[in-house]
Amino acid sequence: MMHFLATYGTQLLSKTGQHLLISAAALGLGVIVAVPLGILLTRMKHGANLVMSLAGVLQTIPAMALLAMMIPIFGIGSTPAIVALFIYSLLPILRNTYLGMQGVSPTVRDAAKGMGMTWWQMMTQAEIPLAAPVIMSGIRLSATYVIAWATLASYIGAGGLGDFIFNGLNLYRSDLILGGSIPVILLALLVDYLLGKVERAVMPKPLR
Amino acid sequence: MLLSMEHLRKEYPNGKIAVDDFNLEVDRGEFIAFIGTSGSGKTTTMRMINRMLNQTSGTIKINGKDISKMDPVKLRRSIGYVIQNTGLMPHMTIQENIEMVPKLLGWSKEKREEQAHKMIALAQLPDEMLQRYPGELSGGQQQRIGVVRALAADQELILMDEPFGALDPITRESLQDLVKHLQRDLGKTFIFVTHDMDEALNLSTKVVIMSQGKQVQVDTPENILRHPANEFVTNLIGEERLIRAQPNILTVSQIMLTNPAAITPDKTLEDAIEQMHERRVDTLLVTDKDNVLQGFVDLDDINRIADAHTPVSRFTQDRVFYVKANALIGDTVDRILKKGVKNVPVVDEDKHLVGIVTRTALVDIVYDALHGAPDANEKPASPINADIHAAATREGGEMPQ
């Protein structure tokens, strides 16, 4: 253990950094796209189902295949990996945003509008705060997925902790495999814990 | 004129006409109730006033200004809005809820806070409650907040959509008292939609009865009880309620007998006895030649007199108890019954004798008012009433979001 850290310590840190960066970028994009899209879907009578099933279909593409498909378009490196992971992150966020916004009581919406809130005020002061816990739990779920799948990104040259695992597999070195997968697991748990905290923080006080 | 609605019409794209040729003028300080069956367009009409819905044609003016030319957001901030399930923001404290519209209007923090304290006092709730969340309050307390929230920015006009529908009868009554107080003492103008006829009759200064998008009758509660426009209104009010309301809407002239046994003072004892015998009564009312009530003669008094030619004026008792023809029965019945007289002469404004009220007729009225007409209780609830109660919840088809 100490020997492993002494040999690969710096590498482990930089790979972890890479891993986090790829995951964060993918998740960030996912949030930027899926949250507004989910809100938009609640405003549309039709189309919500279509978009949701489309996101569902994307989710079913095997991770390896999706990553491979990115190469002809984006080449190799971190860009294709981020795009692929971003696609994976969409569904949970989209679905939870949609459900969260749907879950806001029509009475609250009616009152907010009837008292003279603009569309933007209704969103920012009433609906999004009330839907926030559900949206946040979608983001949290996506985050753990993305961190786990980012391991595969090393396959298309994006780096990250997956490098350890793939090297270990190629060289029959179980220390490398464990040295890659344990940090991934810890990372996923840590992020899940932290986002759980955030989820609680955005929850309206009386509902905690 | 605070609010005027002219030839208002709402037609949905599918051709359904929700409101048709609705006209109403509302003065400051009035309390208007919209009542009707489910789908009668009452909620739709109300929602057009703050442009939650836009009319197909017709105009709504507030203080003479056409609201279709106003910014809907600004309009809504100037009109109070109370809905059935309170519509309080669950994630905001009571204070934040009350301060909502003032905040939207950009009031300073100090002014908002001051207003919040004023409003919670108006709702007759403890000041500490400002820091609580709606979920920690009872339904009745929440709706109290809902009501005063609608006044927090000094709105003159308050719209209420079945505000007390979800509350138990006792809580409902205390809230009705609250809004009545706000209307009477603060001069606020209320327009409220209800399915509860008692609520409409008790609170409002004017009731608008609607059916299938049309106004069936628009009048004061008294006039509606007195003269229901048609059978629909009668059914809506309910037989029992009409009977119970009788003492307060029936006048003495409506229940009196019009042909009282009367005699003029110049007639003789003989004439009096003959007339009593003929009419089979033991008292006669005495009127002068202009039919003005003078007093009465009683058989007991007559028996003491020997001379058959004594004029009636000699033994007339002038201390006679009478009632006015246009008096309400509710106001007079107690006095009549307590006097213990068998019957009471009825006079017009100039004391001309116009009729007589018998004790029997009065007792019937009192009995009906207390217990309902003998057959009213056995009748199954009229289908219209049943329908209204079933429609206690919001009118589903009317509100596309």
Domains and CATH numbers, chain B: 3-245 (3.40.50.300), 253-368 (3.10.580.10)
Encode pLDDT of A97-113 as tens digits.
999 999 998 889 999 99
Give yes or no for residue B392 having a pLDDT over 80: no
**Among A106, A117, A206, whose Cβ lies nearest the Cβ of B104?**
A117
The CATH homologous superfamily for domain A12-207 is: MetI-like (1.10.3720.10)
What pLDDT sits at residue B383?
Answer: 41
- Determine the residue of chain A that is closest to B52 in CA distance: A114
Cβ within 8 Å, pair B101-A115: yes
**Which residues in chain A have Cβ-Cβ distances shorter than 8 Å to B159?**
114
Min Cα distance B54 → chain A (Å) is: 13
Cβ within 8 Å, pair B104-A130: no
Pairing of strands B17-26, B3-11: antiparallel
DSSP letter for each residue of B277-291: HHHT-SEEEEE-TT-
Cα angle B79, B81, B83; round to 5: 165
What pLDDT sits at residue B334?
Answer: 73
What pLDDT sits at residue A153?
Answer: 84
What pLDDT sits at residue B390?
Answer: 40
pLDDT band for B386, please (50, 70, 90 cuts).
very low
What pLDDT sits at residue B37?
Answer: 84
What pLDDT sits at residue B117?
Answer: 93
Encode pLDDT of A37-88 as tens digits.
999 888 887 888 888 888 888 888 888 888 888 888 888 888 888 988 898 8
Give yes or no for residue B140 having a pLDDT over 80: yes
As a whole number, mean pLDDT of residues B157-177 equals: 87
Tell which residue, A127, A182, A135, A172, has the closest CA to residue A15. A182
Cβ within 8 Å, pair A205-B91: yes
CA distance B44 to B55: 9
In contact, A199 and A134? CB cutoff 8 Å: no
CA distance B271 to B277: 10
**Which residues in chain A have Cβ-Cβ distances shorter than 8 Å to B157?**
none
Encode pLDDT of B70-118 as tens digits.
999 999 999 999 988 888 999 999 999 999 999 999 999 999 999 999 9
DSSP letter for each residue of A143-154: HHHHHHHGGGGG
- Determine the residue of chain A that is closest to B103 in CA distance: A117
Which helix (H) or strand (E) is B194 found in, with range?
strand B189-194
**Higher-scoring residue by pLDDT: B361, A19:** A19
**Residue B58 to residues A18, B48, B55: CA-CA distances in angstroms?**
65, 11, 7
Quickly count: other Cβ atoms within 10 Å of residue B344's Cβ.
Answer: 23
How far the first Cα of chain A sits from its last, in Å, is 42
- List all residues 6 or more positions away from B126 whose beta carbon is below 8 Å from its beta carbon: B120
Amino acid at B190: F
Dihedral angle, C-alpha A185, A187, A189, A194, nearest 10 °:
-170
Q: Give percent of chain B with pLDDT exceeding 70.
A: 92
**Residue A111 to residues A103, A106, A121, B159: CA-CA distances in angstroms?**
15, 8, 12, 12
Encode pLDDT of B10-46 as tens digits.
998 888 889 999 999 999 989 999 998 888 889 999 9
Quickly count: other Cβ atoms within 10 Å of residue B223's Cβ.
Answer: 15
CA distance A99 to B223: 51
**Which residues in chain B have Cβ-Cβ distances shorter than 8 Å to A111?**
81, 83, 86-89
pLDDT band for B303, please (50, 70, 90 cuts).
confident
Most B-contacting residue of A102, A115, A202 (CB-CB within 10 A), to test interface: A115
What pLDDT sits at residue B370?
Answer: 66
**Among A107, A121, A206, whose Cβ lies nearest the Cβ of B85?**
A107
Cβ within 8 Å, pair A114-B87: yes
